Amino acid sequence: MKVRLTHHMKVHLIGVGGIGVSALARYFLSQGWEVSGSDNTPSPLLQELKAEGVKIQIGHQKKNLNSETDLVIYTQATPSDNPELQEARKLRIRTLSYPKALGELTKEFTTITLAGTHGKSTTTALTALALLESKMDPTVIVGAKIPQLGGKNFRLGKSKYLVIEADEYKDAFLNYYPRAALITNLDREHLDYFKDLNHVKRSFRKFINNLDNNGILVLNKDNTPLLSIGKQLKRKIIWYSLKEKMLAQKIKKHLKIYGEHNLSNALGVYKLARALGIKEKDILKAFSRYHGAWRRMEYRGNLKLSARGGSAFGGKIPVYDDYAHHPTEIKATLGAFREKFPKSKIICVFQPHQQERLKGLFKEFSLAFDEADTLILLNIFKVAGREKDEVRSMKHEISSKILAEAIRKRKGSPGVIYLPHPTRLRQTLNKLIKDKSVIVMMGAGDIVNLTPRLLR
């Protein structure tokens, strides 16, 4: 597929509201293609795409396609019986999954990939900004909206460089062929696909094999699984570690994002950027410009509490939104909030994402919230097409209520409130807050839609 070759062709994207697929839609728009897309429900991102020129349809119907369509791209979550996918095959339209389509682009550019179980969006954004600061003018595809990219997840550059976030779910990144790669960490994640950590490690080894033989490989020495992989490789590796204290302190002075995990991310990007020939002053300037991305410790506004309803603390409480949904991410993010707000009480409102993840990492979840003073647990957001039948049919189904009970049993754990009805969230917060506090709305599901309602 020569996606850059021809203008005025027609592409249709199934699941266009996804953060990755929407970036690809913007790429095709930038190339002069006629772009349409469909998704199940309206969203602000779909509204943005519509304003930019994408023809948006809500709901998947075969009438959304016709024989004039040249290409159909679909998310990995698209079931085989999707009516649009079936119609495309009936009409003999070329179909590609999102990773395969993006993989075609990686062959046409000098591609820089940012991979790892956690930290991909942050390292992608920092790498893109470092290249921009050094006038390398990259094209960028990232899994978050970045303020320095005009609040978008895509930027069209004029150079040979492509910077992309490389997702490991269902081995998506095995479709990519990079010239340079940074891997932040390996962890037990996506347990509805990966059987265990060894399965994750095998996939990342395959990904490394896709890297150009003379390419740049940057790995985190502080991550034990990555260290074990690196020792088995017969190629040059650029390592980074928080134990490089002088360099870490230099970077920290310029970094505007909090948390040890973000300092580690920045260290990795520094090593990658230097290997790409970028001057230190440009890297540090790029770091100083970055204040975070969409749903990464993102400040959303103040919750105005009444002095009534049992609250002795009337006032404005800052509300932040964060995408963390894995125990490692939760611990790191709450630690960063503790660093940012050392004198405030941290109230974390968390929505578990995917029942299989909660089941597979239940003990880790029960230990993940210790940096919060109070935890409010919402019901699990169950992901369509990703929940296994045996989990749904368990006699004692894993639930947020069971997680709340497990956390309460531990000494030194935060106060826990199980809240099955999120409509009562404002009322609960108003009764709960009695001191200087900060609220963290956390999760990868539809909790993102609760935040604006809370702030009204």
DSSP secondary structure of 7-27: SS-EEEEETTTSHHHHHHHHH
Distance CA 125, CA 287 (A): 10
Q: Please answer whether residues 324 and 442 qualify as being in contact, where contact means their C-beta atoms are separated by less than 8 angstroms.
A: yes
Give, as one character, the DSSP assignment of residue 279: -
Lowest mean pLDDT among 75-84, 255-264, 344-353, 426-435: 426-435
Average pLDDT over residues 259-275: 95
Helix (H, G, I), strand (E, B) or coil at 244: coil
Lowest mean pLDDT among 51-65, 126-140, 157-171, 332-346: 332-346
User: How confident is residue 77, by pLDDT bands cut at 50, 70 and 90?
Assistant: confident
Shortest CA distance to 323 belongs to which of 444, 187, 446?
A: 444
Radius of gyration of the chain (CA): 22
- Sequence-ordered alpha helix ranges (H) in 98-191: 98-108, 120-133
The partner residues of 453 in beta bridges, in order of sequence, read: none
Angle at which helices 224-232 and 197-210 cross, to 10°: 50
The full set of domains in the chain, from first to last, is 10-97 (3.40.50.720), 109-289 (3.40.1190.10), 298-455 (3.90.190.20)
Q: Please answer whether residues 73 and 101 qualify as being in contact, where contact means their C-beta atoms are separated by less than 8 angstroms.
A: yes
Angle at which helices 19-30 and 98-108 cross, to 10°: 50
Distance CA 116, CA 114 (A): 7
- How far apart, in Å, do the first and last CA atoms of the chain sit? 47
Instruction: State how far the alpha carbon of 251 is from the alpha carbons of 223, 245, 255, 290, 293, in Å.
Output: 20, 10, 6, 13, 19
Instruction: State how far the alpha carbon of 28 is from the alpha carbons of 148, 203, 285, in Å.
Output: 21, 29, 31
Average pLDDT over residues 276-286: 97
Query: For strand 298-305 and strand 315-322, is the pairing parallel, antiparallel, or unpaired?
Result: antiparallel
pLDDT of residue 409: 85
- Burial of residue 424 (CB within 10 Å: 0-12, 13-18, 19+) is exposed
Q: Please answer whether residues 330 and 367 qualify as being in contact, where contact means their C-beta atoms are separated by less than 8 angstroms.
A: no
Average pLDDT over residues 90-111: 95
CA angle 247, 323, 148 (to 5 degrees): 60
pTM of the predicted structure, to 2 decimals = 0.81
Q: Which residue has the higher pLDDT, 83 or 427?
A: 83
Average pLDDT over residues 99-122: 95
Helix (H, G, I), strand (E, B) or coil at 84: helix
Mean pLDDT value across the chain: 89
pLDDT of residue 315: 67
Tokens of 349: 């409102």
Tokens 């230099």 belong to: 250
The half-sphere exposure of 14 on its side-chain side, counting CA atoms within 13 A, is 28
pLDDT at 313 over 70: no
The partner residues of 185 in beta bridges, in order of sequence, read: none
Q: Which residue has the higher pLDDT, 434 or 447?
A: 447
Average pLDDT over residues 89-95: 95
Q: Phi first, then psi: what are they for 118, rounded to 5°?
A: -135, 150
pLDDT of residue 386: 53
- Burial of residue 332 (CB within 10 Å: 0-12, 13-18, 19+) is buried
Percentage of residues in the chain having pLDDT higher than 90: 61
Average pLDDT over residues 165-170: 92
pLDDT at 418 over 70: yes
The partner residues of 152 in beta bridges, in order of sequence, read: 146
Distance CA 222, CA 136 (A): 30
pLDDT at 456 over 70: yes
pLDDT of residue 393: 43
Q: Which tens digit of pLDDT belongs to each residue from 51-63?
A: 999 999 999 999 9
pLDDT at 388 over 70: no
Q: How many other β-carbons are positioned within 10 Å of the β-carbon of residue 358? A: 22
pLDDT of residue 307: 56
